[in-house]
Amino acid sequence: LVRHYIVMRYSAARNSEVPAVEQDAHDFGRFAEPALLILVSLAAGPRHGYAIMEDVRALCEVRLGPGTLYAALARLERRGLIAPLDSADRRRPYRLTEAGAAALEAQLATMQRLATTGLQRLGAQ
Amino acid sequence: MRWLLWLYPRGWRRRYGDEFAALLEQEQPSPSLVLDVVLGALDAHLHRPEATSRLESGGPTMKHARRRTAWLVGIASLILVVALGAWLYGPAADWRTSSAAGNPNRVYLVLQADLRAVPAADQPASLQQARQIAERRGRAAGAADVSVRADGPDRLIVELGGTRDVGQAARLLTTSARLEFREEVDRPDGTREWVAARGQTTSGQEAVLSGQYVSQATVGTEPGTNRPLVLFELDPEGRQILATLTERIVGRRLGIFVDDQLLVALTVRDPIDQGRGQITGTFTAASAQELAVTLTSGTLPVPLEVVEARAS
């Protein structure tokens, strides 16, 4: 019975329609921020790993190492937020899925609310 | 750096191995890279999709997975210790004493100036000029921060932040500077672009106006406002080219470029036939001096050769 419950919970979590990255924050752990940066990078169109690293570096001076990049990529792919594309080259490009776009939008909206509130509070002092 | 791939679980390697190897090949080996990949591999072991469900269901597979993880933690720690030791005591330990330490993207170059053709009395000034040119070029190339200092009587140490392309930096710093005059032209699609400005020489031949025709440049001040400006003078050949050129492009803009960087753009109101010009702008005394220096010696005063180069 316990096993059945766990399997159900597990599949429920996997099939959950609520896509926000923040929801999985405990699972993304220290890869939550890299994951967000990757989603932002892929929002401009499909890119392979090296191009994502370069883009993120240009975007916000954050340097993602290959280990960090792929740990975050694998999580995003597992959740269906990004999907690999076929490539003749060894360097495989990834694209943002619809779920990924929705998750990114949700998280950015949250961040925007947070930023607005924070700035308002600072201004109120 | 390919060996780092073997730290990852087999299933992970099957899925990501090729692309990850391709990425590793593009990276410069460094302790922080090793650390990053070791931690990534450890994470891949701890968060294997199939391992997660097995761990939750308990039983012998869980014991197996735990033992595996313990092994991995052991191996990862060993690699970290070795990497740290190599970093602290390795043969290249000296570069970390420079300001490159802690900055992930830097190019470090040692340039040897060939001063044999320069009289001994002028050598310090020549090296100083080369230093200024190197600094300007580093900035023109888009380096985040640029540091150039003299090391002894005939060497320069250059550090460029925000890049790790050693080849490009070496080329940039050792080719001679180009001062160019360009004219702005309208393209059919409504945009504008800068093209090499052409005029006629005294013998009637078409020529591109470039730094080779500048005879001298000095710093002056604008009457009335006392703001610094740069005065330049062309040799007779350059004078003729400028006159025919400006006659042709009255009402359009003429740009002065050094190393492909637009320094000044001025609208030509009348043909300039005295071969003299002044460049006004938001100069400080120092930046005006710098431009005057570049105008008179936009090209490197001495040949520079790269004797040491690395990226971090």
Interface contact A10-B38, CB threshold 8 A: no
DSSP state of B149: E
What beta strand segments (E) does B222-299 contain? 228-234, 253-258, 261-267, 276-279
pLDDT 10s digits, B10-33? 889 999 999 999 898 888 888 888
The A-side interface with B (CB below 8 A) comprises 3, 6-7, 10, 31, 48-50, 53, 57, 63, 65-71, 73-75, 78, 89-92
Do B134 and B173 form a contact (C-beta atoms < 8 A)? yes
Copy the structure tokens of residue A107: 């998280």
**Dist. CA B226–CA A60, nearest whole Å:** 41
| Predicted pLDDT of residue B219 | 82
- Kindly report whether the global pTM for this prediction surpasses the value 0.80: no
pLDDT at B142: 59
Q: Is the dihedral of CA A70, A72, A77, A83 positive or negative?
A: negative
Query: Where does residue B309 rank: exposed (0-12), middle (13-18), buried (19+ CB within 10 A)?
Result: middle
DSSP-assigned states of every residue in B179-229:
EEEEEEEE-TTS-EEEEE-EEE-TTS-EEE-BGGGEEEEEEEE-TTT--EE
Q: Is a pLDDT exceeding 60 seen at residue A9?
A: no
Tell me how many degrees the CA angle B289-B294-B296 measures, rounded to the nearest 5.
95
**pLDDT tens-place string over residues A78-107:** 889 999 998 878 889 999 999 999 999 999
Average pLDDT, chain B: 78
pLDDT value at B175 more than 70 = no
Percent of chain B at pLDDT > 90 equals: 7
Q: Which of A62-71, B29-38, B227-236, B260-269 comes out lowest in average pLDDT?
A: B260-269
Instruction: Say if B142 is an interface residue toward chain A (CB within 8 Å).
Output: no
Residue A19 has pLDDT above 50, yes or no: no
Q: Which residue has the higher pLDDT, B249 or B290?
A: B249
- The whole-number pLDDT of residue B299 equals 66
Lowest mean pLDDT segment, chosen from B64-68, B138-142, B156-160, B215-219: B138-142
Max mean pLDDT among A5-9, A75-79, B63-67, B307-311 falls in A75-79
Q: What percent of chain B has pLDDT over 70?
A: 78
Cβ-Cβ contacts under 8 Å, B46 against chain A: none
Lowest average pLDDT, out of B77-91, B120-134, B224-238, B259-273, goes to B77-91
Cα of A38 to nearest chain B Cα, Å: 16
For B40, name the nearest residue in chain A, comparing CA atoms only.
Answer: A67
DSSP state of A91: S
Task: Please report the ipTM that was assigned to this predicted complex.
Answer: 0.76
For residues B150 and B285, the model is more confident at: B150
Contact between chains at B39 and A68 (C-beta distance less than 8 A):
yes
Closest A-chain CA to B142: A58
Of A125 and B149, which is predicted with more confidence?
A: B149
Give CA–CA dist B138/B150, Å, rounded: 15
Q: Residue B259 pLDDT more than 70?
A: no
Give pLDDT tens digits for A31-87: 889 999 999 999 999 999 999 998 898 888 788 999 999 999 999 998 899 999 988
Q: What is the pLDDT of residue A89?
A: 80
- Which residues, listed in sequence order, are joined to residue B148 by a DSSP beta bridge? B158
Reported as a pLDDT band with limits 50, 70 and 90, residue B62 is low
Q: Give me the pLDDT at residue A6, please.
A: 46
Q: Can you tell me the mean pLDDT for B138-146?
A: 69
The span from the CA of B184 to the CA of B203, in Å, is 25
B 29-58 residues inside an 8 A Cβ radius of A: 32-33, 35-41, 43-44, 47, 49, 52-53, 56-57
B67 has a pLDDT exceeding 80: no
Phi, psi angle pair for B219, to nearest 5°: -95, 135
Instruction: pLDDT band for B53, please (50, 70, 90 cuts).
Output: very low
Q: What is the pLDDT of residue B274?
A: 80
Q: Mean pLDDT over residues B233-248, rounded?
A: 89
Cβ-Cβ contacts under 8 Å for A104 (sequence gap 6 or more):
A21, A36, A39, A40, A43, A81, A96
CB atoms near residue B138 (< 10 Å): 26
| Contact (CB, 8 A) for B302 and B127 | yes
Closest by Cα among B23, B55, B48 to A74:
B48
**Could you tell me if B241 and B209 are in contact, meaning their C-beta atoms sit under 8 angstroms apart?**
yes
Under an 8 A CB cutoff, do B104 and A63 touch? yes
Q: How far apart, in whole angstroms, are the C-alpha atoms of residue B237 and residue B209? A: 10
Q: Residue written as tokens 């792929």?
A: A70
Asked if the Cβ–Cβ distance from B37 to A48 is below 8 Å, we say: no
- CB pairs < 8 Å spanning A and B: 72
- Region B116-137 average pLDDT: 83
d(CA B225, CA B54): 80
Q: Which of A6-15, B40-49, B126-135 is predicted least confidently?
A: A6-15
- On chain A, the residues whose CB falls within 8 A of the CB of B32 are 65
- pLDDT of B177 reads 53
- Taking alpha carbons only, the member of A74, A46, A39, A70 closest to residue B21 is A70
Average of per-residue pLDDT across B92-100: 42
Per-residue pLDDT tens for B270-311?
A: 888 787 777 766 677 766 766 666 566 556 778 788 888 888
Radius of gyration of chain A (CA): 17
